[in-house]
Structure 1
Amino acid sequence: MKLNSYTLSLMISAALFTGFAHAAKTVEDCQKKKASATDYAMCLDRVQELVDRELQTWVNNQTFELEDLSLSSGRGTPLEMFKRSQRNFLTYRENNCRWQYLATTPSTEAANVYKMCYIYLSKNRIKELSLQKPIAINKESAN
């Protein structure tokens, strides 16, 4: 049986998608599946990617709401402050996880310490953003 390239690529994509569907979603999942040091590190990489995507979704949502507020009320300061706070968070996360990495080197676990720190801080930021009350735009006060 000869497969054309389209069918072959479709089958490969389906296999990859199936693998991601069963992939670990938390650090705890990675710890349960810890088969080898390499597998564990790769698992943390996948979780870090998922957390990054989720965080970006929350940041985009908050930015969208604040842009909408800015357009309707003429007040751009909340959006500017949110963007600043997000830049500050990214700097804090990088520096906080980096010192933990440096304190752990030359241990083979140093990279995993960094990744776990990154994941936990990102999840905390997601929780913080998810607890924000939706911005209610009072049209009367904007006029």
Structure 2
Amino acid sequence: MKKTKHVFYFSLLFCAASANANIDILKDCEPLADTHPSRAKNYIICLDGNITNLERTRKTWITKLRLDMNLIEQDTGNSQLLPIVERSFIRQDKYIEDSCRWRYLHQMPNATKAAIIYKKCKIRMLQRHIEDLKLPF
């Protein structure tokens, strides 16, 4: 049993290390910044790449937290933590989406500018959520 826990924790550390690496390799998209529809394509593609990278990192941290909560439940018998944590993930997803969506709608009818604002908002929100997920509990 103890050997299994050591292997498990080693895999968690590896996941956490790779998640940290993903945040560090976000591309600097600002040199491509442009709101003109014909020139903004590369900027938007760069922002999309960063969003994908952050979402992957976030999923890694969420998985780690779920596994930690399962271990706590096995060790202590406290079965209340995981459902609350799961609910917080769902609510955080909705918060990120709604918070960025109203910013998008505020910029309409300029769809290019609205898309850029939305993507930058999502990047900022994902970074904040990842930082929160990293905090010790």
Same fold (TM over 0.5): yes
Report the equivalent of 2:26: 25
Aligned-pair identity (%): 30
Which runs of 5 or more structure 1 residues have no equivalent in the other structure? 1-23, 134-143
Paired residue secondary structure (2:29): helix
Q: Is the 8 A contact 2:69 2:81 kept in 1?
A: yes
Paired residue secondary structure (1:76): coil
Report the equivalent of 1:51: 54
Q: What code does the residue aligned with 2:30 have?
A: Q
Residue-by-residue CA offset, 1:60-81 (whole Å, 9 max, x unaligned): 1011000111122111111111
Q: What code does the residue aligned with 1:113 have?
A: I
| Separation (CA, whole Å) in 1 of partners of 2:90 and 2:127 | 16
Q: What code does the residue aligned with 1:112 have?
A: I
Report the equivalent of 2:14: none
Report the equivalent of 1:124: 128
- 2:104 corresponds, among 92, 101, 123, to 101
Q: Which moved further from structure 2: 37-46 or 103-112?
A: 103-112
| Separation (CA, whole Å) in 2 of partners of 1:33 and 1:113 | 14
Q: How many residues align?
A: 108
**Superposition TM-score, scaled by structure 2 size:** 0.74
The structure 1 segments of at least 4 consecutive aligned residues displaced by more than 6 Å after TM superposition are none
- 1:67 corresponds, among 70, 75, 90, to 70
Report the equivalent of 2:40: 37
Q: What code does the residue aligned with 1:111 have?
A: A
